[in-house]
Each structure stands twice: as C-alpha cells, then as structure tokens.
Structure 1
Amino acid sequence: MRHSTATADLPDRLWQAVVDGDEYGAVDIVHKAVADGVDEETLLLDVIAPVQARVGVEWAADRITVAQEHAVTAINERVIASLSHRRPARERRAPHQGRVTVSCIDGEWHALPARLVAEVLHLRGWQVDYLGAQTPTPHLVSHLHHTNPDAVLLSGSIPTRLPTAHAAITACQAVGILVLAGGRAFGADGRYARALGADQWAADARGAAAVLEVGLVRPRPAAIRQVTDDLPHLADQEYTMVVQSRVQLVKQTLVGLETSFPVSRGYDDAQRERTAEDIGHIVDFLATALYVDDPEMFTSFLTWAADILEARHVPARSVVTGLDILADQLREFPRTVDLIDAGRAVLRGRPTRPAPEFGTRA
C-alpha cells in the first residue's frame, strides 16, 4: 500500500528541505510520515527517489549548482540511513529470502539508486551486502567467493561505464553467480543489459525484488567469455582505436575549434578546460556507442549535451563543429564516421527545447 493521499505533498516538501541544505528538516519529514503510517518502501521509492531524480533535472536546467547537487545527494543518503536505523530491533525482519550482493560497477559514482535497491530488498527479507560506489571488479569477485550469494545486482547510471559493466558481468558469471543488471546506463528497456549478457534486468527496485522473488536458478560456472562472443562487431577494432586515441582526439579537436569556432579563441583557462572536458565526454560516448553498436546511445547524449550548453548560453552549433573536426580525424573508421554522421543529422534537425535529464552529469 503506497498511501497516495498521505504522500502527495511529501516529495515537494522533502525537495525544499534538501535543496535548502536542511538535513534535520528532511529527516523530520520522513520520520513524521512513518509515524503517520506511511511504509518505508513507499518513502524510499515514491518520495526520496523522485526527489533525487529531480536533482538531475534542476542541474540540467541550470537552476542548481554542482555543489547543491552533491549536497542534496548527501542529505538524501543520510535520510535513507536514518530510516534504516530508526527501526527498533524487535521490528527488524530476519533475512529469510536468501543473500544478495548489491554493487555499483567500477567507475560508477551514482550510488544512491543502488542504495535504494539494497534497502528495499532488505525490507523484503533479503540479506544484502551493499558494496556502494565504484567497486573494482576483482574486489567484487573476491567478495562473491567469500559470501557465495544467490545473485549479484549491478547498478550503473553512467552509460560510458558499460564496457566495464560487461567485464563485471562476465567475471561474476564465471564464478557461477547470476547477474541482475539495473540502472539508467543499461537503457530504459534493458537493451544494453541483454547485449552484455546479463542474466536478468530490472527497471527499478520493485522490479528487482520481483525478479528475485520469482526464484533464482544458479548458472553453472562458465568459461570466461571474450567480449567478441557477445559483441562480434568489436572485431573491427574501431572501439579500441578510438579509446586509445582519446587524448589526441580531444587535443586536436580543441585546436580545431579555435580555427572553426572563433569565439573559442577568447576562452580563459577555465573555459578551455571545460571545453576539453565536453569534447572528452563526446569521445567517450562515441566509443561506448561503438562498443554496443547503437547510434541512439550517441545521438541521445549529443541532444542532451546541446540542451545543456544552451541552458548555459553556449551555442549548440559548437557541438556540430566539434563533430566535424572529429569526423575528419576518424575518417578511416567507417562505423565511427556513420555514428558521427547520425549525430550531426540529429543536432542539425533538432528544435531548441528545455534540457532533459540524462544518465550522466558533468
């Protein structure tokens, strides 16, 4: 039961508290809701989760700063901890469903979605080992050897970490552990989870709980797969070449922009650094799109990036200019050029509109 009437105004009230930096006020709001009969799962998924999602929207629209974004996330994490710790010992349900590990993939610093999953599974009777953000794959596998869980739940919000996620999925399965993938990085429909060989995918915490409750069949230990077993298009080596050339691609594109986009010549050091970071993100998403062989991975990011720039009063045409320079450097790689062409076409044909939320933020 989600107490829709009782929780109707809670997200707005919690948002105001956290964006004001009022940690104690935020804790009071959710604790009073519990006292009023709102169950913890509802608070986690229908109140705290929407507030956290709003962080990305507000940052993208340039209505909050990066520092505020970090502060809001930190307060939300402490609010979740306060909910977990407030229950009297007699009300804590002993684990009876089994044992699972919940972890972010290496390089993934958005840990709050995984924390929400861990808390919901604990409420539903699972023993949960929550490993948090940026867990290196070798350490994750070592943990699995020691604990022998029924499944590992891998969380990812940053699409450019998908190649790392692929390695983690393969490594976990090689020691006989079923992998349930979730998070925005794997696609709204789970397409990338399937492409990378995950055993299951879930859109959210309730979905993950439902998958686990259906029943798990432990896979047999399998030989380590090569990435080309799942993604045969990688045999062309274009992904590898782009990744290995990243530093040079960013440097040459930055130099080229000064010629093709004259306003950039007047940038100060901070603006030049930020422009280099933006070019780096473009190269990273280009490489990831090559890895999963999906133009939408690249075009969705470019549309989002253009909207972000416009929200900050930077002409989005600079992105097209940067793509032109990249295409010239990568003209000998046909799959790469096709992706860049798709990106240029989308940007040239897009209307100007407010910035949406995306899976990774600067």
Structure 2
Amino acid sequence: MSTSTPPRLPRAQHLDRLVDELWDAVSAVDEYTATDLVLRMLDEGTAPESVLLDVIARVQGRVGEEWAADRMTVAQEHAATAINDRAVSAVSVHPAARTPVTRGRITVACVDGEWHALPARLLAEVLKLRGWQVDYLGAQVPTSHLIAHLHSTQADAVALSSSIATRLPTAHAAITACQAIGFPVIAGGAAFGPKGRYATLLGADAWAPDARGAADHLARGRMPRPNPDHQQLDDLPHLDDQEYTLVARTSTTLVQAVYTGLEDAFPPMRAYDDAQRDRTAEDLAHIVEFLATALYLDDEDLFTRFITWTAQILEARKVPARSLPPALDLLARELKDFSRAARILTAANRTLTTAGTPA
C-alpha cells in the first residue's frame, strides 16, 4: 500500500478543476458550497488574485456563455452572478487577502446606467491586493456623484468600467468630467470595443482589457494629471450633423413605427403571442439604442457586431433571425434623410445577408 503524496496537477489543470467545481456550485445556485470552495482554495494556498481572476471571473464568463446559448434564463444568470459576487466577498475577507496599503488611492466605478458591476468589483479587489487604497462605488454611478466623490477624496486615478456599449455616450461625459477637474481615467470593460478603440476615441488616458491588465498598468507609475482643457465633449466633429441627438430623442417614436410596420413586412409576427410581441418591442428598442450609439461614435462596426450577435441570440432561442432585415429596412425608411444612419443600417443588412441569416 502506497503512502506517498499524490502528484500535484500542473497549475493550468488545477485551475481548470477549480473552475469546474465552482461552476457546479454556481449553476446549482448553491451559495454555501461556492463560498466554501473559494475559502478552501485560499486555505490550500491558491493566491487570492488567482482565485478572483482565474477561477471566479472564468466562471462568470461561462455564465454569460450559457445565457447566450439559451441554456440559462435571465433569472438564473442573475442568481449565478449574485453567488459569484458573494464568492468575491468571501475572498476579500480571508486573511490571505489582507494587504497593507503601500500605494496611492484609486476610485473604481461603473458609468451611470451600467449595472454589470462584477468586472469593476473584481478590479477593486485586485487593486487592494496590489496595495492600493480603493474606493469602490459600484454600479450605475451618476457622473455628478462621481465628481463629488473625487473632490472629497483626491484619488490618484479613476478606473471606469462599462460592459454595455450603449453606455458609451455617458462614459464619454464621465471621462470628460473627471479630466476637467484633473483626474486621469483608465477605462475598461467590453463596452470600449476591440483593443479599447472607443476608450481612445472618447479620450480616456488609458485602457486595459481586464482587471489584471489594469492593475499592471497602474503599477507602472502614477498616471499624469490631465490638462483640464485637453478633451471636450464636442471633440467628435461628426456629431455636428445632429443625427445622434435626433435618433436618441425620437427613439420611442422610431420603435413604434418599426413595430407597426413589421407585421406586414414579416407576416409570421401576426401569430406572435403577447410575450413574443413584448420581446419584439424590446429587441427593436435595443436596435435603435445601438444605432444611436454607433452614430455617436461614427462606427458602423459597433452596430454590425450587435446585429450579428442579436441574430445568434435569436436563433439560440428558436426565434427566426430573418425578422431582422425587414426591421432594419423599416428603420432605414424612417431615417431616409439621415445619411450616416442609412450607411450603418445598409452595412448591417449586408452583413446579415453575407452571413446567411437562416430563413
């Protein structure tokens, strides 16, 4: 009978196993097992930052994938996210995570209207582990409240998080307001686009793809204080045509017009029940909101990516994605005098056709 200690798994395989274990608890909505697991990981020597980013964050990514594939309801996704948030809390109070402040002070916040708070929460905890004093303000922080907080605390920098692209005009206002009173901004989150292209466009002082990247960037040295006059909200000259403003202000009317015309343009809608009609109206509202954001950024790729993703989500839910082209055609008809909107809608429709939207 052997009494030797079993060989340790390679680190990657070990982390994969921990992810699977936590996923089983989270997907079963078992808060107690989930928190016990992360505490056991810490007790057994897994670094707190690794538990946060290599385990909890990966499980949260799987939650999003399962929702997109229609294997998890919205309610289940919310429950799973809440348990992951509690797992983060469990890490934050463990003795292994108690790190003295050796650096400066960072304010971490989500832009107003952004309710995906977990990425920002993960960043806040990682920064604490790296020795920063962190003011974590949470989800949906109005810009005026953020500015008031900065006036009272004098942080070294602001880490601004956003996951939903339609929050980018609000993010622009927050970035500009922070810089106007001398605070540099590092932006992060899926909203800021591939390689942070929209963070650059909107004048953020820095961008990071994830919490580890943001912490690494801040560790390189103090971010320079911005010149309060270097960035203004009118630095996007394409907004002079007012297309963004007009589409944003008339969004309700546009949704109603497209919804009314869609029954004739897409006859299967006539058989929809009330729940399906409600979801159709919600989808149209999202389409108009993303179109407005694409106009704000003058970036047709943002809208095209959203429409492609929407088609995939609809198909996963057994809803015919072929309803999208007629909806875009109706919207283009309503906006026939808007040249940039017409260009964006044409590009999106072309992408759907090229991708072979299922009939």
| Common fold: TM-score over 0.5 | yes
1:332 is aligned, of 331, 337, 344, to 337
How many angstroms does 1:6 deviate by? Answer: 2.8
Structure 1 residue ranges, 4+ long, deviating more than 4 angstroms after superposition: none
How many angstroms does 1:221 deviate by? Answer: 5.0
Asked if structure 1 preserves the Cα contact closer than 8 Å seen for 2:169 and 2:293, the reply is: yes
* Runs (5+) with no aligned partner, structure 1: 354-362
| Cα distance in 2 between the residues matched to 1:226 and 1:274 | 38
Tell me which of the two structures has the higher relative contact order, counting C-alpha pairs closer than 8 angstroms and 6 or more residues apart. Answer: 1
Asked if structure 2 preserves the Cα contact closer than 8 Å seen for 1:307 and 1:352, the reply is: no
1:105 aligns to 2:102 (yes or no): no
Which runs of structure 2 are paired with 1:107-256 in the superposition (5 Å)?
A: 107-223=113-229, 225-229=231-235, 231-256=236-261
SS in 1 for 2:158: strand
1:318 aligns to 2:310 (yes or no): no
* Runs (5+) with no aligned partner, structure 2: 1-9
| Cα distance in 2 between the residues matched to 1:325 and 1:220 | 44
Asked if structure 1 preserves the Cα contact closer than 8 Å seen for 2:157 and 2:223, the reply is: no
| Structure 1 letter corresponding to 2:155 | P
How many angstroms does 1:220 deviate by? Answer: 4.6
Aligned to 1:70: 78
Asked if structure 1 preserves the Cα contact closer than 8 Å seen for 2:184 and 2:226, the reply is: no
Asked if structure 2 preserves the Cα contact closer than 8 Å seen for 1:3 and 1:38, the reply is: no
- CA separation of 1:5/1:63 partners in 2, compared to 1, >3 Å: closer, same or farther? closer
1:215-256 superposed Cα distances (whole Å, 9 cap, x missing partner): 124425514854221x11111111111111101100000000
Asked if structure 1 preserves the Cα contact closer than 8 Å seen for 2:162 and 2:188, the reply is: yes
How many angstroms does 1:352 deviate by? Answer: 6.1
Q: How many residues align?
A: 349
SS in 1 for 2:194: coil
- TM-score of the pair, normalised by structure 2: 0.94
2:311 is aligned, of 298, 306, 309, to 306
Asked if structure 2 preserves the Cα contact closer than 8 Å seen for 1:6 and 1:38, the reply is: no
Asked if structure 2 preserves the Cα contact closer than 8 Å seen for 1:93 and 1:125, the reply is: yes
| Cα distance in 2 between the residues matched to 1:34 and 1:211 | 26
| Structure 2 letter corresponding to 1:201 | W
| Cα distance in 1 between the residues matched to 2:94 and 2:226 | 40
1:290 is aligned, of 295, 300, 305, to 295
| Cα distance in 1 between the residues matched to 2:168 and 2:314 | 25
| Cα distance in 2 between the residues matched to 1:195 and 1:260 | 37
1:105-163 superposed Cα distances (whole Å, 9 cap, x missing partner): 00000000000000000000000000000000000000000000000000000000000
Asked if structure 1 preserves the Cα contact closer than 8 Å seen for 2:322 and 2:357, the reply is: no
1:163-186 superposed Cα distances (whole Å, 9 cap, x missing partner): 000000000001100100000000
- TM-score of the pair, normalised by structure 1: 0.93
| Cα distance in 2 between the residues matched to 1:49 and 1:303 | 25
Q: Taking every aligned residue pair, what percent have the same amino acid on both sides?
A: 58
**Cα root mean square deviation, aligned:** 1.5
- CA separation of 1:220/1:278 partners in 2, compared to 1, >3 Å: closer, same or farther? closer
1:14-65 superposed Cα distances (whole Å, 9 cap, x missing partner): 1110010111111121111112211010010011001101111101111011
Aligned to 2:21: 13
Asked if structure 1 preserves the Cα contact closer than 8 Å seen for 2:106 and 2:158, the reply is: yes
